[in-house]
Amino acid sequence: MDIHEYQAKELLSSFGVNVPRGGIAYSPEQAVYRCSELSGERWVVKAQIHSGARGKAGGVRICSTEEEVSDAASWMLGRKLITHQTGPQGKLVSRLYIEEATNIAQELYLAFVMDRKLERVVVVASAQGGMEIEEISEKEPESIVRSVVDPAVGMQAFQAREIAFSLGLDAALIPQAVKTITGCYRLMEEKDANMVEINPLVVTGSGEIVALDGKLSFDDNALFRHPKISELRDKSQEDPRETYAEDRGLNYIGLEGEIGCIVNGAGLAMATLDMIKQSGGEPANFLDVGGGASPERVLMSFKAVLNDKNVEAVLVNIFAGINRCDWIAEGVIRAVKELELTLPLVVRLSGTNVEEGRKLLSESGLNIATADTLAEAAELVVGAWKAAKAN
């Protein structure tokens, strides 16, 4: 789960990380009022969406007058910002963060990420901040510092000092840097975060280390331990297809194709996507119904897939071990009837109670094509989709 920048900064501040003063605004009038609260001569208006590269899309503006703040807020609110991270659909701006402008003397990059191969938290830092880490690794690879944290002891002060010195910071700034680095690690550990990223982390003209931006991502599976973190979720920033499925306990990832997929098991689901591509089609989603799927769960899966208006055909591919093919068949028949499905539908069943499942489908009298193998099923559904599209 991702959260907004202003929410991330509140959490960072609670762990001792220095952040600029700011406030949230939902209208141009509120944005101007925030400026009067902050006082000063310059302010930064930031669109709050779950994406990086907001500045390149016009989502971050430095303003010198209240009129400029009002104009910037009016332009951003209600607009869909499109960045390389949002995709062409963009993300809607419904709130802004108004922040005091900072006198920047130096920009740094600091991130804490999970390295699943090492099974450790890895600190990634660079003296070249303000750019995405991909750009830094391409343009200034020698500037990147990596440090692995031993989970048995956590982030130690000496390790934080080593990172700070490797960034070329002045000796007088090392205590502040250590406080920032250890604070970020404690946040990641205590709140079950997958990632803590500050880009840029800046040194101000007055000699302070400040987190000018903040990006946090949390482990969904651990949110039950953190109800206050859970409340920070903004569903308007998520793919509505994925939100619908997740709220019903389905493992779903939306894609850009036209052929909906209902499969059990992540490995089989990935193989199904590959076979559809190989047969000349484009999968619309990854959906794993899981083990022990009841007819009701199959019906929910169909609803999740059909929430995508781009879906023009559906492939059900089940290898029943824990599942039962007759349950799946019952769910498919129920879905076709209740949802009045007219799209091409191909079902491939294999495993437990497969004969009973196939019999239910064949005797249903419904327009459901069946296949014995995955390759055959993929060819059938792509062929049916192309035929329907041609008509």
What is the C-alpha separation between 121 and 195, in angstroms, rounded? 9
What is the enclosing helix (H) or strand (E) of 63?
A: strand 60-63
What is the distance between the alpha carbons of residues 130 and 213, in angstroms, rounded to a whole number?
10
- Burial, 117: exposed, middle or buried (Cβ in 10 Å; 0-12, 13-18, 19+)? exposed
Spatial separation of the C-alpha atoms in residues 4 and 27, rounded to whole Å: 17
**Residue pair 33/82 in contact by the 8 Å Cβ criterion:** no
Distance between CA atoms of residues 135 and 157, nearest Å: 29
What strands, in cross-sheet order, belong to the sheet with 22-25? 22-25, 96-100, 43-47, 60-63
Q: Which residue has the tokens 């010195």?
A: 165
Counting beta carbons within 10 angstroms of the beta carbon of residue 122, is it exposed (0 to 12), middle (13 to 18) or buried (19 or more)? middle
**Cis geometry, peptide bond prior to residue 151 (ω within 30 degrees of 0):** no
Write out the binding residues for ATP: 46, 99, 102, 107
Give the whole-angstrom CA distance, residue 11 versus residue 87: 28
| Binding site as annotated, residues for substrate | 264
- Catalytic positions are 109, 197
Query: Which residues are documented as binding site?
Result: 46, 99, 102, 107, 199, 213, 264
Element (H, E) at 35: helix 28-38
Q: Which of 12, 10, 389 is nearest to 197 (CA)?
A: 12
Both structure tokens of 352: 């437990």
Cβ distance 108 to 46 under 8 Å? no
